[in-house]
Structure 1
C-alpha cells in the first residue's frame, strides 16, 4: 500500500511553508493527491454572546479569517502549481480540533506542525497536535518548528517496544520504509524488568519488515530511566545517526477532558529535532 492521499494542515503560522514543502515532496514521490486543509481557529462564543461589541468582534474575526485564507491558499497553490500533484483546497468556515480529526479521514497521511510557543499566529486550540494524533485514526507526520528539512524518510529510526501502537506505527510507515536508504530499529530495555507476554520482541518486526523488502538493523540498549529519559536518548540517537525521520507509536489517553501523554510521546512532541511519524 502507498499513500494515495496526503493532507497538510495550514494556518497563519510562519512555519506553513516548511510543512508545504515536505507535503508536496511526499505527494510527488507517492503520486498522491494533496489536500490543503485550512484550520486557523474559530471565534470565541463568549465574546460574541456577552460582550457589548460582540457583533463587531465577529465581523473583525471574519475579516481576519478571510485574510488568512487568502494567504494560506496562495501559499498552497504556489507550492503545487507547475507540479504533477493533484491538489485540493479545503477551508471550512469555523474550524476546531474536531474538524481536523474528521477531515483527516479523507487522507492516508496527515501532516501537522509542532507547536511553537512563540508563534502567536498559529492555530492555538489547546492540545491541538496531541488530540489529532490520538483521535484521528491516521498516521500523523509532525514537522518540527525549528530547522529546515529538504527531505524526509531516507534515514529512519523506528522506536519499538512491541506494543499495539508501535506495530500500528510501523505498518502505517511502511510506504516510507520501503523507500528508505537506511532503517534502524531501537528497542530500549530496562534492567530487571520482564517484558509483558503481549509485547513482541524486536526480532519479530525485523522479520516482518524483511518480508516486505525492508532490511533493518536493530539494537536493544539498556536504560535506567522512564519514558522522558528514553525520549531524550532517542533524540540523541537520531542526531548521532543523522536521521531525517523517527517512527513511533503515540501513547496517551483522555482523563477528565485532559490529555495524559506517555513520557516518551510528550518528550518527542515538545523537543523533536526531526520529523516524527506517530500512530495511535
Structure 2
C-alpha cells in the first residue's frame, strides 16, 4: 500500500505553504500524483439603494476572487514543478467558499487528504471545515498543525488505540507511515476486561498485525486518570516525542460534547503534532 494520490486542501495563503510543506515532500517520497483544491465564494448579489443589482460590485468581487485563486495556483504549481511531481489544480466556486467542503468529491478518489488545523485566530474566510473532510470524505485525513513545523519523515508514530472500527481504519490507512517509522508506539488508555478480551492484553493483536508488516512496535498501556483521554494522549505525545499521531475520528451527540467534550475535538484544537485521523 502507498499513497499514490494525495489531495492538498488550500483555503488561503495563510495555510497554503504549510499544507504544501507536507504534501509535496510526501508526494516525492511516494511518487504520488498531487491534487490541490481551492474554493472561492460565489459573489452574493448586491442591490443598490435604488433596488437594482449592483453589477459593478459583483464584477469587482468576482475579479478579486479570481486573482486570489490564481495566486494560490501559482504557488502550488511553481512548487510542484520544482519537485518534479505529477500534479493538477482544481479551482472551485461555492456559496460558502469552503475549500474543505468543496473538496469532498475529489477527496473520495484520493489515498490521503492533507489540510491545516483550524486556526481559531484566523478570519472566518480563512477557515476550512476540517470536520467535513473527516466525517464525510471516507478517506484518511492528515491534519497539519497551524503553529508547529512538521517533519514528514515521521520517525516516531504514536497510535491511540481503543479497539474500535475507527481506530482500526486509521491504523491501516497509516500503514505507509508506520512501516517506514523508526518506532511505532501503541497507546491504550483505561483498557478494561470484556467478554472478548482481557484488558491487560488490549492492543496486542494490532501490535502483532503491524509487526507482520515490518513495523517496529512498542506497547504502552496507561491510565488517563483525571486528565481525560484527550489530555492523556497529549501527555504521551510530549513524553514519547512522537512526530505523528494516528487515531480514529469519533463523533458524539452535540449535547453530550457540550457538557463532556470530545476526544476528537480536544486533539483537533490542541494538536501538538501532525495527526492522521480516519472514520
| CA shift for structure 1 position 13 | 3.9
Q: Deviations over 1:53-96 (max 9, x none)?
A: 55444323312211211110111012212323111111123354
Match of 2:176 in 1: 175
Match of 1:114 in 2: 117
Match of 1:18 in 2: 18
| CA shift for structure 1 position 168 | 0.2
Q: Which runs of 5+ in 2 are unaligned?
A: none
Root mean square deviation, CA, Å: 2.9
Match of 1:80 in 2: 80
- Do residues 204 (structure 1) and 205 (structure 2) align? yes
TM-score in terms of structure 1 length = 0.86
- Do residues 269 (structure 1) and 268 (structure 2) align? yes
Contact 1:40–1:123 (Cα < 8 Å) also in 2: no
Q: 1:50 to 1:156 in 2, by over 3 A?
A: farther
Structure number with bigger Rg: 2
Contact 1:21–1:79 (Cα < 8 Å) also in 2: no
Q: Which runs of 5+ in 1 are unaligned?
A: none
Match of 1:105 in 2: 108
Match of 2:215 in 1: 214
Q: Distance in 1 between matches of 2:243 and 2:81?
A: 26
Residues 233-242 or 131-140, more deviating: 233-242
Match of 1:233 in 2: 232
Summarize the alignment of residues 156-195 of structure 1 with structure 2, pairs less than 5 Å apart. 156-189=157-190, 194-195=193-194
Number of equivalences: 271
Q: Distance in 2 between matches of 1:41 and 1:207?
A: 48
Q: Distance in 1 between matches of 2:2 and 2:47?
A: 47
Contact 2:4–2:31 (Cα < 8 Å) also in 1: yes
